[in-house]
Amino acid sequence: MKEATGGALLMGLAAAIIIIFVIVVAFFISYGKSFRLKNEIINEIEQNEGMTEGEIMTFIAARETKYNGKLPEVCFKKVSYTTAVGGSHTVYKGFVIKVKVVMSMDRTILGERFNPRINIYGETKTIQSGRFYDKDDGIDLETQLGMNPCA
């Protein structure tokens, strides 16, 4: 009888290690997919030298990528600097689009109790040309890009 309980404990330990291994692998696969989606969105925006929010969502839908039920969020930030020559004059340099993708794991494997949500952030390089760039300081990117400024 002693050998039977020892074998059951060993089998339970082996099963627990396998379950933990599967959970870790599922986590890193989900994280990698979310990271890849963020990078593909940023690359597409940079290649087109800016995109509207509608064009970004169309790009995501055309790829048929699973993004865990929550659409990626996008916002823009104006990039400018202040000149010291001749007083303080703000010069508009371009804009940056920030992307946030939320990674969450598939609940069918882990159940409802364990569902981590991790935000993955990224931003484009400064876009200084293209259809949304104007040398004028009075550019209204919120209307042109159709997205909100970053907080």
Which of 24-38, 60-74, 106-120 is modeled with the greatest confidence? Answer: 24-38
Residue 19 lies in a domain: yes
Average pLDDT over residues 136-149: 72
Owning domain of residue 73? 2-145
Residue 136 lies in a domain: yes
pLDDT level of residue 7 (50, 70, 90 thresholds)? confident
Within a 10 A sphere around the Cβ of 3, how many other Cβ atoms?
Answer: 7
Average pLDDT over residues 119-146: 75
Number of separate domains in the chain: 1
Residue 79 lies in a domain: yes
**pLDDT of amino acid 26:** 81
Residue 74 lies in a domain: yes
Residue 151 lies in a domain: no
Within a 10 A sphere around the Cβ of 85, how many other Cβ atoms?
Answer: 6
Average pLDDT over residues 82-89: 66
Average pLDDT over residues 67-85: 75
Within a 10 A sphere around the Cβ of 9, how many other Cβ atoms?
Answer: 10
